[in-house]
Amino acid sequence: MRRAVCPGSFDPVTNGHLDIVRRAASLFDEVVVAVGVNVSKSRLFTADERLSMLQQGIAGLGNVRVEGFSGLITTYCREADAVAIVKGLRSGTDFDYELQMAQMNAHLTGVETVFLPADPAYGFVSSSLVKEVASYGGDVSALLPDFVLGPLTEKLAQRAAE
């Protein structure tokens, strides 16, 4: 049984994330989507909201589950008995950052990192850019699952009113 972990903050989950999760699920026996719940970073959505949107996103994928994690992803992988971390690569910038991270993680516990090239349809999609564009009224509906659009619009409106 080979288990992989797809880690991230998923603030919120995008179609780009879900594409990577689906492809990881076709390569490994089991995939755990690990949602970072460290309190240090400022997030638009709470950990519970991010977890719940991902639960909806993986509906129908029988070998995928969603869990929160805090601390080092390497420790989480060891506890979850995962052999690999799966990451999507959108660009050379992603690669430079992810290569260093993968090498550090391998140094820490020997866990492997598997890189999947982003689907070109989502190569320009990041949660942060989607939030920024949506906050100015841009149409991001093709880049997010339907069940994220409503909550995103509401959150951004709440934040603008604060």
Ranges within 43-82 binding ligand ADP (CB under 6 A): none
Dist CA 62 CA 101 (whole Å):
29
Which of 4, 5, 17, 134: binder of ligand ADP (CB under 6 A)? 17
Q: Catalytic one among 50, 87, 90, 131?
A: 90
Extract the tokens encoding 56: 């909806």
Site string for ligand ADP, 81-110 (x = CB under 6 A): ------xx-x--------------------
Q: How far is the CB of 12 from ligand ADP (least distance, A)?
A: 9
Per CB under 6 A, does 127 bind ligand ADP?
yes
Q: How far is the CB of 161 from ligand ADP (least distance, A)?
A: 25
135 tagged catalytic: no
CA 88 to chain centre: 9
Residues 6+ apart with CB under 8 A from 4: 24, 27, 28, 30, 31, 32, 82, 83, 84, 85, 86, 114
In degrees and rounded to multiples of 5, residue 28 shows phi and psi of -115, 160
Q: Catalytic one among 50, 127, 131, 155?
A: 127
Q: Catalytic one among 26, 40, 41, 42?
A: 41
Q: Which residues are catalytic?
A: 17, 41, 90, 127
Interface residues with ligand ADP (CB under 6 A) are 8-10, 14, 16-17, 20, 87-88, 90, 118, 122, 125-127
